């Protein structure tokens, strides 16, 4: 059964983000602890350099949280100019709670607290899971504690609990029986992928840019989030009573709503330290099984396979390599297409900017790494081509991708097989032992391509002559890169046998011939990469 439950009233608060300086920011003048309204003022002025207590994997969710919140608070109205105005705008989202319970980290159990739904029965007895530290609560699952030790933040500040809550409630996936994930990902083992644009400046410049885009083009989100908001438009889902059994229908939700996926509550221990309690649920917070993550998220790309089935993009352990980023930027892959989300569409008004991607790759009972990528775009002609979705630049990217694949698979790879198999008349390309020897060197070539691809591509934006010149230089770069990797492999290979030395020269000749045949270029052209 689903529905749109009513809201309650009440309660006493601790760490009220509307009034208390809970969040630490670093500005040009030093470190400052601020309330949420004060943070919005600093972000609008691009005065925030960073958040010292924020962990890297929490940054995407923490960027999304204030952007979504500010967009919801100013929908249909003006953007406040001072902290008092922001506080008033935020309180208009919670009119039933004059004591600011929904903005507080700790509140009476029968009242909602920040990112924490009220407990219907009013007691914590059923909340049997205890988290003594924010990193124990957080989304990272590490194999045997090797990569990042868990439960080590024993003297955690309130803001560290805030960042953990914001990350869990916005990005968590399936965590075993009774622990369901968010609606903005395709399945419990998917990931909420963030793709956006960061203009020149700090975190405030990106905040201001995204807020402006949502205020001007927010109607597009309703177009992408079919069925949302048809009955009512709940904006802060921790205001909604939750018994752990009854999910919300999407037709009760605003597409930009700040969601929650877990029943959690913070409380203060006798010594004044915070701790969290949680309990499982028999259903997800939102009835979104059929959505496949298509919830109108302004940061999440949508992919479609050959069958036309659409779903939110999930990132694997491969992360955001150059091929994946090219697919996302230009909307086309080998066997699928991609649609950029609203906030990843380049606008020339942004000026010099970076294309920013981030996601926590998720597996069964583990994570496969936090992946992030920033691609600078500084040339005006490249920015213009991306803003206009210029087909010529897309086609150049496709040709450069094909050339890179050719250099790898048809040139370097056969030469390396010949090298490591000591120059036989007939190379065995399926020999497993040789594959294991060759693969690290292929990865080295891919790393060189990854580091150079987009800088070369942007030079080809603007006109046909620029594209032709960029393509020639790219071919020269691939000649140089493949040859350099081969020489490193030849140097690393055992060289005591005369046969090995002869094999190296034979393989070198094969590489040179394959490059000239498959990637012809003017021999007087030199690579600048």
Residue 171 contacts residue 61 (beta carbons within 8 Å):
yes
Whether 141 has a pLDDT exceeding 60, the answer reads no
Whether 121 has a pLDDT exceeding 80, the answer reads no
Output the pLDDT for position 482. Answer: 98
Tens digit of pLDDT for each residue in 145-192?
A: 334 445 455 579 999 999 999 999 999 988 888 899 999 999 878 899
**Same domain, yes or no, for 271 and 420?**
no
- Work out the mean pLDDT of the chain and round it to a whole number: 90
Is the model more confident about 364 or about 129? 129
Q: Which of 281, 300, 319 is the last residue of a domain?
A: 300
What mean pLDDT comes out for the span 440-444?
97
**Same domain, yes or no, for 115 and 257?**
yes
The band of 496, judged by pLDDT with boundaries at 50, 70 and 90, is low
**Same domain, yes or no, for 109 and 235?**
yes
Per DSSP, the residues of 166-179 read HHHHHH----STT-
Full-model pTM: 0.91
Task: Please indicate, yes or no, if residue 1 is contained in any of the structural domains.
Answer: no
Task: Please indicate, yes or no, if residue 350 is contained in any of the structural domains.
Answer: no
Whether 278 has a pLDDT exceeding 60, the answer reads yes
Output the pLDDT for position 1. Answer: 47
Task: Please indicate, yes or no, if residue 404 is contained in any of the structural domains.
Answer: yes
Task: Please indicate, yes or no, if residue 325 is contained in any of the structural domains.
Answer: no
Residue 519 contacts residue 403 (beta carbons within 8 Å):
yes
Give CA–CA dist 213/196, Å, rounded. 11
Tens digit of pLDDT for each residue in 74-108?
A: 999 999 999 999 999 999 999 999 999 999 999 99
* Domains contained in the chain, number: 2
Tens digit of pLDDT for each residue in 296-311?
A: 999 999 999 888 899 9
Task: Please indicate, yes or no, if residue 243 is contained in any of the structural domains.
Answer: yes
Output the pLDDT for position 218. Answer: 82
**Same domain, yes or no, for 44 and 143?**
yes
**Same domain, yes or no, for 21 and 166?**
yes
Q: Which of 248, 277, 300 is the last residue of a domain?
A: 300
Give CA–CA dist 127/129, Å, rounded. 6
**Same domain, yes or no, for 78 and 212?**
yes
**Same domain, yes or no, for 402 and 296?**
no
Tens digit of pLDDT for each residue in 461-477?
A: 999 999 999 999 999 99
Task: Please indicate, yes or no, if residue 295 is contained in any of the structural domains.
Answer: yes
Provide the domain limits for residue 437.
389-518
Q: Dmax over Cα atoms in the chain, in whole Å?
A: 85
Q: Which of 254, 277, 300 is the last residue of a domain?
A: 300
The band of 131, judged by pLDDT with boundaries at 50, 70 and 90, is very high
Cα 248–Cα 252–Cα 258 angle in degrees, nearest 5 = 80
The SS3 assignment for 142 reads coil
Tens digit of pLDDT for each residue in 335-378?
A: 889 999 999 999 988 889 999 999 998 866 567 889 999 999 99
Output the pLDDT for position 124. Answer: 81
**Same domain, yes or no, for 17 and 154?**
yes
Task: Please indicate, yes or no, if residue 84 is contained in any of the structural domains.
Answer: yes
The band of 143, judged by pLDDT with boundaries at 50, 70 and 90, is very low
Task: Please indicate, yes or no, if residue 116 is contained in any of the structural domains.
Answer: yes
The CATH number linked to 492 is 1.10.132
Nearest one of 83, 114, 117 to 101, comparing CA atoms: 114
């Amino acid at each position: 059964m689903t529905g749109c439950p009513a809201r309650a009233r009440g309660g006493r608060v601790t760490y009220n983000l509307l009034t208390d300086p809970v969040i630490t920011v670093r500005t040009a003048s030093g470190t400052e602890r601020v309330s949420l309204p004060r943070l919005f003022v600093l972000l609008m002025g691009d005065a925030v350099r960073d958040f010292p207590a924020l962990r890297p994997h929490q940054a995407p969710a923490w960027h999304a949280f204030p952007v979504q919140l500010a967009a919801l608070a100013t929908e249909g109205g003006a953007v406040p100019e001072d902290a008092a105005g922001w506080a008033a705008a935020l309180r208009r989202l919670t009119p039933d709670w004059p004591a600011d319970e929904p903005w507080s980290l700790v509140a009476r159990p029968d009242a909602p607290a920040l990112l924490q739904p009220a407990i219907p029965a009013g007691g914590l007895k059923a909340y049997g899971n205890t988290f003594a530290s924010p990193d124990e609560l957080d989304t990272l699952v590490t194999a045997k504690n090797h990569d990042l030790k868990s439960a080590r933040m024993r003297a955690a500040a309130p803001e560290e609990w805030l960042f953990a809550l914001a990350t869990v409630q916005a990005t968590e996936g399936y965590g075993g029986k009774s622990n369901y994930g968010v609606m903005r990902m395709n399945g419990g083992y998917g990931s909420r992928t963030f793709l956006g644009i960061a203009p020149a400046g700090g975190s405030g410049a990106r905040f201001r840019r995204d807020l402006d885009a949502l205020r001007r083009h927010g109607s597009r989100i309703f177009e992408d989030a079919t069925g949302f908001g048809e009955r009512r438009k709940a904006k802060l889902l921790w205001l909604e009573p939750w018994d752990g059994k009854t999910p919300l229908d999407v037709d009760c939700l605003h597409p930009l709503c700040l969601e929650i996926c877990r029943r959690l509550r913070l409380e203060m221990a006798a010594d004044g330290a915070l701790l969290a309690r949680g309990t499982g649920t028999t259903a997800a917070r939102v009835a979104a099984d059929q959505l496949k993550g298509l919830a109108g998220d302004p940061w999440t790309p949508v992919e479609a396979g050959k069958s036309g089935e659409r779903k939110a993009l999930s990132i694997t352990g491969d992360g955001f390599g150059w091929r994946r980023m090219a697919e996302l930027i230009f909307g086309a892959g080998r066997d699928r297409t991609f649609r950029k989300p609203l906030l990843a569409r380049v606008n020339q008004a942004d000026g010099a900017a970076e294309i920013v991607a981030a996601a926590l790759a998720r597996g069964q009972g583990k994570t496969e790494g936090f992946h992030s990528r920033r691609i600078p775009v500084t040339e005006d002609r490249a920015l213009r081509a991306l803003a206009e979705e210029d087909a010529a630049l897309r086609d150049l990217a496709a040709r450069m991708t094909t050339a890179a694949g050719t250099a790898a698979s048809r040139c370097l790879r056969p030469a390396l097989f010949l090298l490591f198999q000591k120059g036989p008349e007939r190379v065995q390309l399926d020999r497993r032992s040789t594959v294991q020897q060759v693969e690290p060197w292929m990865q080295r070539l891919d790393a060189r391509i990854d580091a150079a691809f987009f800088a070369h591509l942007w030079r080809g934006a603007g006109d046909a002559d620029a594209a032709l010149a960029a393509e020639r230089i790219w071919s020269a770069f691939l000649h140089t890169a493949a040859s350099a990797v081969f020489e490193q492999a030849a140097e690393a290979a055992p060289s005591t046998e005369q046969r090995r030395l002869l094999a190296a020269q034979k393989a070198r000749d094969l590489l040179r011939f394959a490059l000239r045949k498959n990637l012809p270029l003017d021999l007087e052209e030199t690579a600048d990469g």
